[in-house]
């Protein structure tokens, strides 16, 4: 008999997560039989359940359990002027460079960063000395370089946005002289409303859900008679034609947002900003993310968006490192002021106590469903030694787990099957429950561990005599005998709902 060396559990990697997601039906590459469509993903039978659970948890915390927040579901297509007012038509663009040799496309700032990294510690323009630099773009490079920990020498520096980038070698094919001068490329997806493709019928797929809330501020405020402070919450798809996508569902061109716009009196904004940063961290912990996997990072002044008075990111430790899970921004009165100006309709709130009209300030906690999904999957993934093998288990919070209970009869035959089917029929009225009678009980437990099912109910021959079943806990693997009568309530107590 050969002795197998005990398997060693390893750390979570993107490769393992993507593989498990595909193998067990959480996430598939979109249009896979046609070779896929870059960075586009489809949620499979278990993925859609888990994603719905993420959204339900957010909606419950943000709308159901609060008196001061109401919901909204605005259209994806909006009047094109909305995006002029929001600044997206003019400002939501990246400078892009094409390689004429290999036909690849790059963001210009990424080219400089790549080049700077290759050159070493000092950025020097070939043959140039004193060069004029657009201060905004210089800051962008400075920031990009800071991220890569490359030292930055202020001068000489190639002029950003100039043709200097054409002197760099292509990072993909290494050809020199093949890069085109940068062109501005708007990240919004454009389409046409109605049958005629002309400028007058131009529309965009929304790049964020927030604007649907701002343009409905008055509709919601007057119909609900909410007093400041109050919020409007919305979940929905948004689209950005990103050049750099990747890390699985972390950055996609089509994604789903969960956004709250919380309107407050000017002067009370700093306090509410702090409130929401803390509340949102607590939310992610409440759905099972370990505290050590989360941190808050306040943006430096030069990192802030044009509309923001202050922004903090709630970051999560993804398999590749820290990344943004949610952003909380103090947008001041930028959006309502812009929409007042562009629509010609004064958007204000009348404060009866003070007998004056104010433009409310707004605090925006904004997170992505897909990122939340990936963070929860990453944090839950564990490999544990189990005899000679490794047990892969998703330690998902019961509220997030796609399947809550699995019913496993020890035999496919009667009379066990009948009893098990009856239990299954009762339990599935309350939760998503799986019935599995294929292969050994050990393998069935493994399958449920791998998809994060918190509880397994095993129906065995003893059940026929004592009307009891074995309930196995996913995390401790402890087993207890419980009577069939009142089983749903007993499981409910263990699940927490």
DSSP state of 201: G
Transcribe 225-236 into DSSP letters: TPPSSEEEEEEE
Find the part of the chain contacting Zn ion (CB under 5 A) among 30-38, 113-121, 170-178, 277-285: 170-178
* x-or-dash string of contact with Zn ion, 396-415, rule CB under 5 A: --------------------
Q: Which helix (H) or strand (E) holds 262?
A: strand 254-264
Q: Rounded to whole angstroms, how far apart are CA atoms 324 and 78?
A: 27
CB of 175 to Zn ion, least distance (A): 5
Q: Of 99 and 258, which has the nearer Cβ to Zn ion?
A: 99
- To the nearest whole angstrom, how small is the minimum distance from the Cβ of residue 22 to Zn ion? 31
Q: In whole angstroms, how close is the CB of 150 to Zn ion at the nearest point? A: 22
Cβ proximity to Zn ion, 21 vs 99, nearer residue: 99
The reply on whether position 170 binds Zn ion by CB under 5 A is yes
Residues in the interface with Zn ion (CB under 5 A) total 6
Residue closer to Zn ion (CB basis): 178 or 234: 178
Q: Cα(205)–Cα(434) distance, rounded to whole angstroms?
A: 38
Nearer to Zn ion, 178 or 312 (CB): 178
Instruction: Name the β-bridge partners of 174.
Output: none
**How many residues in the chain?**
497
CA dist 437 and 454 (Å) reads: 18
The residue range among 112-120, 172-180, 259-267, 446-454 that interacts with Zn ion, by the rule CB under 5 A, is 172-180
Provide, rounded to whole angstroms, the least separation between the CB of residue 184 and Zn ion: 21
Closer by beta carbon to Zn ion, 103 or else 237: 103
| Nearest distance, CB of residue 111 and Zn ion, angstroms | 11
For the CB of residue 27, give the shortest distance to Zn ion in the complex, in Å: 31
DSSP summary character for residue 289: -
Phi, psi of 16 (to 5 degrees): -65, -40
Which residue's CB is nearer to Zn ion, number 174 or number 282? 174
The Cα 311–Cα 490 span in angstroms is: 45
Asked if 188 is part of the footprint of Zn ion (rule: CB under 5 A), the reply reads no
Contact by Cβ (8 Å): 96, 106: yes
Interface pattern 60-89 for Zn ion (x via CB under 5 A): ------------------------------
Site string for Zn ion, 94-123 (x = CB under 5 A): -----x-xx---------------------
Q: Which is nearer to Zn ion, 64 or 175 (CB)?
A: 175
Least Cβ distance, residue 182 to Zn ion (angstroms) = 15
CA distances to 103, 176, 179 from 173, rounded to whole Å, are: 10, 9, 11
* Residue from 344, 243, 256, 270 nearest 59 by CA: 256
Nearer to Zn ion, 178 or 470 (CB): 178
Residue among 170 and 232 whose Cβ is closer to Zn ion = 170
Phi first, then psi: what are they for 376, rounded to 5°?
-65, -40
Choice between 99 and 363, CB closer to Zn ion? 99
Query: Residue 480 contacts by C-beta under 8 Å, 6 or more apart in sequence?
Result: 470, 471
Cβ atoms of residues 423 and 463 within 8 Å: no
Which positions from 130 to 169 touch Zn ion by CB under 5 A, shown as an x/- string?
Answer: ----------------------------------------
Instruction: Give the closest residue to 54 by CA, choosing from 402, 409, 388.
Output: 402
179 binds Zn ion (CB under 5 A): no
* Single residue of 125, 131, 172, 304 touching Zn ion by CB under 5 A: 172
Tabulate helix, strand, coil % of the chain (nearest 5): 35, 25, 40
Three-class secondary structure of residue 174 per DSSP = coil
Whether residue 152 has a cis bond before it, omega within 30° of 0: no
Q: Which residues bind Zn ion (CB under 5 A)?
A: 99, 101-102, 170, 172-173
């Amino acid at each position: 008999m050969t002795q197998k060396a005990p398997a060693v559990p390893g750390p979570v990697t993107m490769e393992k997560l993507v593989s498990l997601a595909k193998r067990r039906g959480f996430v598939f590459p979109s249009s896979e039989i046609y070779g896929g469509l870059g960075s586009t993903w489809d949620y499979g039978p278990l993925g859609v359940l888990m994603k719905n659970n993420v959204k339900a948890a957010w909606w419950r915390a943000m709308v159901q359990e609060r008196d001061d927040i109401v919901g909204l579901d605005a259209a994806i297509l909006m009047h094109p002027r909305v995006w002029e007012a929001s600044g997206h038509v003019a400002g939501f663009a990246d400078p892009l460079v094409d390689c004429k040799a290999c036909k690849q496309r790059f963001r210009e700032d990424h080219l400089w960063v790549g080049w700077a990294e290759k050159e070493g510690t000092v950025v020097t323009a070939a043959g140039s000395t004193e060069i004029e630099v657009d201060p905004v773009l210089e800051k962008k490079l400075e920031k990009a370089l800071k991220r890569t920990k490359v030292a930055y020498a202020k001068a000489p520096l190639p002029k950003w946005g100039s043709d200097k980038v054409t002197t760099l070698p292509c990072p993909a094919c290494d050809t020199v002289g093949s890069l085109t001068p940068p062109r501005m490329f708007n990240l919004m997806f454009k389409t046409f409303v109605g049958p005629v493709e002309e400028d007058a019928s131009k529309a965009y797929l929304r790049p964020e859900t927030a604007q649907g809330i701002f343009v409905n501020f008055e509709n919601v405020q007057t119909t609900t008679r909410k007093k400041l402070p109050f919020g409007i919450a919305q979940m929905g798809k948004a689209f950005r034609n990103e050049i750099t996508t990747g890390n699985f569902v972390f950055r996609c061109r089509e994604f789903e947002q969960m956004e709250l716009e919380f309107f407050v009196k000017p002067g009370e904004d700093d306090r509410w900003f702090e409130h929401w940063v803390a509340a949102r961290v607590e939310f992610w912990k409440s759905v099972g993310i370990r505290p050590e996997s989360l941190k808050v990072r306040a943006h430096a002044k030069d990192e802030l968006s044009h509309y923001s008075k202050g922004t903090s990111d709630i970051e999560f430790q993804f398999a590749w490192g820290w990344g943004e899970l949610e952003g909380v921004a103090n947008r001041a009165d930028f959006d309502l002021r812009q929409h007042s100006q562009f629509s010609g309709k004064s958007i204000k709130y009348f404060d009866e106590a003070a007998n004056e009209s104010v433009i409310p300030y707004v605090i925006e906690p904004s997170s992505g469903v897909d990122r939340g999904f990936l963070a929860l999957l990453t944090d839950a993934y564990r490999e544990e030694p189990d005899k000679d093998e490794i047990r892969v288990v998703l330690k998902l919070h019961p509220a997030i787990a796609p399947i809550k209970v699995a019913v496993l009869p020890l035999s496919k035959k009667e009379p066990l099957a009948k009893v098990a089917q009856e239990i299954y029929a009762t339990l599935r009225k309350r939760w998503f429950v799986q019935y599995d009678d294929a292969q050994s009980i050990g393998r069935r437990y493994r399958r449920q561990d791998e998809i994060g099912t918190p509880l397994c109910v095993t129906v065995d021959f003893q059940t026929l005599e004592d009307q009891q079943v074995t309930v196995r806990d996913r995390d401790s693997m402890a087993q207890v005998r419980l009577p069939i009568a009142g089983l749903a309530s007993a499981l409910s107590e263990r699940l927490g709902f």
